[in-house]
Amino acid sequence: MLFKVIAKEELKRLFELLASSHTVVGPVKTGRDRTGLPLYAFDEVERFEDLSLDYAMTKIPAKRFFLPYREDMAVFEMRKDDWNKKVDYNMDRPRIFFGMHPCDINALNRLDKVLMGETYPMPYYIAKRQNTVIIGIDCTPRPYCFCRSMAADTALHGFDMFLTDIGERYFAEILSDTAFNFLRLIKTAEPAGEDHVLYKKAAAARNERFVTQVDTTDLMKILDMEFQSDVWKQWGDKCLSCGTCSNVCPTCYCYSVEATVDLKLTTARKTKMLYSCNLIDFAEVAGAHNFRPERHIRLKYRYYHKHRGFVEAYEESLCVGCGRCGESCLAGITVPEVIASVRSTL
């Protein structure tokens, strides 16, 4: 692995060089919440001053740049007795993502397994994933974060460069030749012994800030055992089936397809919209039979997909522990509490 140290002023210069020739996306401050804490979102950034590299957490994950909430899959030119289908993957230039936290990088790595691998890789996602250069940055864990329990607190791959703030400088981990070429545009230095010490101190200080934990030992088996447990009903009674959890989840990828025709009847569209398995009609089939008609059954399904089914298929959870769902849930349902309640069932 290749390491460099970058003075903070030089990183600003790098941003400006990149932003002058590329679309750059990064964390920006969008306002304050009701308690006065700043709110952040990922957006296109042109000036370094607008970038908030020390951001806490965005409400909406980086997912929306890879799986947009609405996206046309195909456009049909309609003629009298015929039609012509045009497919576009909706990505025509490279993009640089400046400042992504490990949880969001790991979320993409887990999405890659479903959307890029196996049979039928999804070109809409691939086009965006392979044309996005990712510069990761370390974070300060918040009370909701439990990424450490989900083995998502550090990103090992799936990015081009990763930055850790060590005071005056950034400690940079370089994973791709694209990032290596970026660094040739600015002044960098080989890390000295002192930088290694500062890095290890920063990492240790970060580790101490994790307060929330989820015990995943034997979780697959326990979930199987507790499939009929009453706790699901209790959580289901609280759940509003609003789908907010999926909306803010960096790994929820399910979708619905909508067909529309324009007013002139000359163009039709096939549009994909991200959906949620907590919404009532998610598992409805023709003739209105619903395989998951009850709230607790749908809530349970979401947990089983993330923490059981995906683990069985890919040997890791589909949850990265970012805590966004628990923080945004209108009913106050959090993953650590749900899992703890299932584990403690007598």
Partner 1 sequence: MSEGMVEFRPVNNKGLGKNAPSAFERTFKAEITSIHQLTSMENLYRMQIIDPSERKGFSFEPGQFVMLELPGIGEAPFSITSSPLRHGDIELCIRKAGSLTNFLSRVGRGTRVGIRGPLGTGFPMEKMHGNDILLIAGGLGLAPLRACISYAQDNRSRFHNVDIVYGAKEPSQFLFTYQYDWWRADDIGLHITVEKPDDSWKGPVGMTTGILDQILASRGSSFHENTYAIVCGPPVMFKFVCSMLTQKNLPMQKMFVSLERRMQCGMGKCCRCNVGSTYICLKGPVFDYWTVMNLKEAI
From residue 315, how far is each of 77, 164, 220 by CA, in Å? 44, 28, 10
* DSSP-derived pairing of the beta strands 161-165 and 132-137: parallel
d(C-alpha 109, C-alpha 151), whole Å: 12
**x/- letters, 278..317, toward partner 1 (CB under 8 A):** ----xxxxxx-x-xx----x---x--xx--xxx-xx----
Nearest to partner 1 of 56, 75 (CB atom): 75
Which of 253, 274, 252 is closest to 319 using CA atoms?
A: 252
| Shortest distance, position 83 Cβ to partner 1, whole Å | 5
Interacting positions 124-163 with partner 1 (CB under 8 A): 124, 126-127, 130-131, 133
Nearest to partner 1 of 56, 220 (CB atom): 220
**x/- letters, 27..66, toward partner 1 (CB under 8 A):** ----------------------------------------
Which of 48, 121, 103 is closest to 248 using CA atoms?
A: 103
Per CB under 8 A, does 225 bind partner 1? no
Q: Which of 182, 199, 232, 235 binds partner 1 (CB under 8 A)?
A: 182
Do 330 and 245 touch, CB atoms closer than 8 A? no
Per CB under 8 A, does 257 bind partner 1? yes
| Shortest distance, position 200 Cβ to partner 1, whole Å | 31
Tally Cβ neighbours within 10 Å of residue 158: 20
d(C-alpha 204, C-alpha 99), whole Å: 21
H/E segment holding residue 42: strand 38-44
Stretch that binds partner 1, among 46-54, 98-106, 233-241, 255-263 (CB under 8 A): 255-263
| Shortest distance, position 201 Cβ to partner 1, whole Å | 32
Q: Which two tokens stand for residue 312?
A: 């069985």
Per CB under 8 A, does 340 bind partner 1? no
β-sheet with 70-78: strand ranges across:
83-87, 70-78, 267-274, 255-261
Helix, strand, coil shares of the chain, percent, nearest 5, are 35, 25, 40
| Shortest distance, position 87 Cβ to partner 1, whole Å | 5
Binding site for partner 1 (CB under 8 A): 17-18, 21-22, 73-74, 76, 78, 81-83, 85, 87, 89, 92-94, 96, 114-115, 118-124, 126-127, 130-131, 133, 178, 181-182, 184-185, 227, 253-257, 259-261, 268-270, 275, 277, 282-287, 289, 291-292, 297, 301, 304-305, 308-310, 312-313
